[in-house]
């Protein structure tokens, strides 16, 4: 298997409502990332998006972006796994380059959630037969997990609020973050509007528009394109059952355990070797469960690093260093590509005030549904 590197990463500022349409966002970020790598041609374009079928009446997005970007001719198709689609497209590109079949691949994630009613389309990440008739939503499932976690471990009320506080704290230094000027205390989180008990507004990532892209190349050729390339040391995916009631250990976030274990094995690293963790903090409970599942805390202790001030950029376990899904924003199909770009910045010592000192490795996690599909990628300098 060829070693694979990320040789360029670009992203548009996350916005509540972008003034650009979906295709313009996609082509803009493709041009940016190609300029960065100083290439006018690539071998393949892999895309991720979750909602264009419904919100834009548009399938065939990979070929469309290739056409719009003046790249018609090249290989182009899409990878999907609902909210983990960006990670799926990244993994597809990883496999293509690792195999030796593709030398230079762009991965672009783009989502314009402001185009229409996103919520009904997001619901399609759940099992339409076995979950929706019970009135389940993604939020209600996360609420169920959060309540179960509090019930089991008898935590202080603000145990999880620290994740959101940290994300907003970090986002203020990220010019591409949706929320750069909203700093909160844990009291603010606990006072925010109740959405689905016990989940409050400030436990949730926002609906927004965004596009981000990376270019992958064989490590041995990476220097042709950049002197700031970062190796993609591991790429792994796993699944769990859809219904929480069908999972033997719902709080174990089994797919996250499986995916991160595979990724550690592939990279030859262990949790202690990871310098920052770009967590899929669509809900604060998910951040907590991923900290445990990825091996950074014992069962029932995932909230402690947050509550004990260890998740800031200079802490033992820096999380959501550029705002995370919570405060950078979560433009679904683009999210994982924002995460990649942020880790690349960190590993190149370009993260400004939230720079993790000496960061050489980063783990990122992506979740589709309420823990159903989980992908883990490890980047290393």
What is the pattern of x (binds a second copy, CB under 8 A) and - over residues 109-128? ------------x-xxxxxx
List the one residue out of 127, 37, 30 whose CA is nearest residue 70. Answer: 30
103 binds a second copy (CB under 8 A): no
Q: Which stretch binds a second copy (CB under 8 A): 11-19, 97-105, 108-116, 138-146?
A: 97-105
156 in Cβ contact with 170 (< 8 Å):
no
> Which of the stretches 86-94, 154-162, 224-232, 349-357 binds a second copy when contact is defined by CB under 8 A?
86-94
Residue 293 binds a second copy, judged by CB under 8 A: no
Which residue, 24 or 348, has its beta carbon nearer to a second copy? 24
Q: How far apart are CA 189 and CA 128, in angstroms?
A: 32
100 binds a second copy (CB under 8 A): yes
Find the binder of a second copy among 237, 282, 288, 334 (CB under 8 A): 237
Q: Rounded to whole angstroms, what are the CA distances from 345 to 158, 276, 322, 350?
A: 31, 12, 10, 5
Contacts with a second copy, 263-282, as mask; x by CB under 8 A: ---x----------------
| Closer residue to a second copy, CB minimum distance, 121 or 289 | 121
- Please give the Cα distance from 243 to 304 (Å, whole number): 28
Q: Which stretch binds a second copy (CB under 8 A): 9-17, 81-89, 142-150, 183-191?
A: 81-89
List CB contacts of 209: < 8 A, sequence separation 6 or more: 14, 15, 16, 17, 18, 25, 111, 112, 113, 114, 331
Residues found in the chain: 381
Residue 5 binds a second copy, judged by CB under 8 A? no
88 binds a second copy per the rule CB under 8 A: yes
Q: Which of 55, 27, 42, 142 is nearest to 102 (CA)?
A: 42
29 binds a second copy (CB under 8 A): no
220 CB burial (10 A radius; 0-12, 13-18, 19+) = exposed
Whole-angstrom distance, CA of residue 290 vs CA of residue 312: 16
Shortest spacing between CB 78 and a second copy, in angstroms: 4
Nearest residue to 333 (alpha-carbon basis) of 113, 175, 103, 139: 113
Asked if 250 touches a second copy (CB under 8 A), the answer is no
Q: What does the binding site for a second copy look like in residue numbers (CB under 8 A)?
A: 1-2, 21, 23, 44, 50, 53-54, 56-60, 62-64, 66-67, 71-82, 84, 88, 91-92, 95-96, 98-102, 121, 123-129, 132, 235-242, 246, 254-255, 258, 266, 368-369, 372-373
């Amino acid at each position: 298997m060829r070693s694979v590197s990320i040789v360029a990463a670009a992203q548009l500022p996350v916005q509540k409502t972008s003034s650009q349409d979906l295709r313009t966002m996609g082509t803009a970020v493709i041009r940016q990332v190609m300029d960065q790598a100083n290439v006018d041609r690539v071998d393949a374009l892999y895309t991720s998006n979750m909602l264009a079928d419904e919100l834009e009446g548009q399938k065939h997005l990979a070929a469309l972006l290739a056409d719009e970007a003046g790249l018609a001719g090249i290989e182009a198709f899409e990878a999907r796994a609902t909210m983990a689609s960006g990670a799926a497209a990244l993994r597809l590109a990883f496999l293509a380059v690792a195999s030796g079949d593709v030398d230079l691949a762009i991965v672009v994630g783009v989502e314009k959630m402001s185009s229409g009613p996103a919520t009904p389309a997001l619901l399609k990440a759940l099992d339409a037969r076995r979950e929706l008739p019970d009135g389940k939503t993604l939020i209600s499932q996360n609420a169920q997990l959060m309540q179960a976690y509090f019930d089991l471990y008898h935590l202080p009320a603000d145990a999880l609020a620290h994740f959101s506080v940290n994300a907003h704290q970090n986002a203020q230094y990220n010019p591409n973050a949706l929320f750069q000027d909203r700093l909160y205390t844990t009291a603010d989180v606990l006072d925010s509007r109740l959405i689905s008990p016990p989940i409050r507004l400030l436990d949730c990532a926002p609906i927004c528009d965004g596009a981000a892209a990376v270019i992958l190349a064989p490590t041995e050729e990476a220097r042709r394109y950049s002197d700031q390339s970062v190796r993609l040391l591991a790429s792994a995916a796993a699944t769990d059952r859809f219904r929480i009631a069908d999972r033997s250990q719902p709080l174990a976030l089994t797919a996250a355990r499986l995916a991160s274990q595979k990724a550690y094995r592939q990279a030859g690293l262990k949790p202690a070797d990871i310098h920052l963790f770009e967590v899929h903090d669509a809900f604060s409970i998910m951040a907590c469960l991923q900290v445990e599942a990825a091996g950074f805390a014992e069962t029932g202790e995932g909230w402690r690093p947050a509550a004990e001030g260890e998740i800031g950029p200079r802490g033992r376990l820096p999380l959501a260093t550029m705002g995370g899904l919570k405060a950078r924003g979560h433009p679904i199909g683009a999210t994982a590509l924002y995460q990649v770009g942020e880790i690349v910045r960190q590993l190149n010592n370009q993260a400004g005030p939230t720079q993790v000192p000496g960061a050489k490795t980063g783990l990122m996690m992506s979740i589709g549904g309420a823990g159903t599909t989980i992908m883990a990628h490890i980047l290393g300098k």
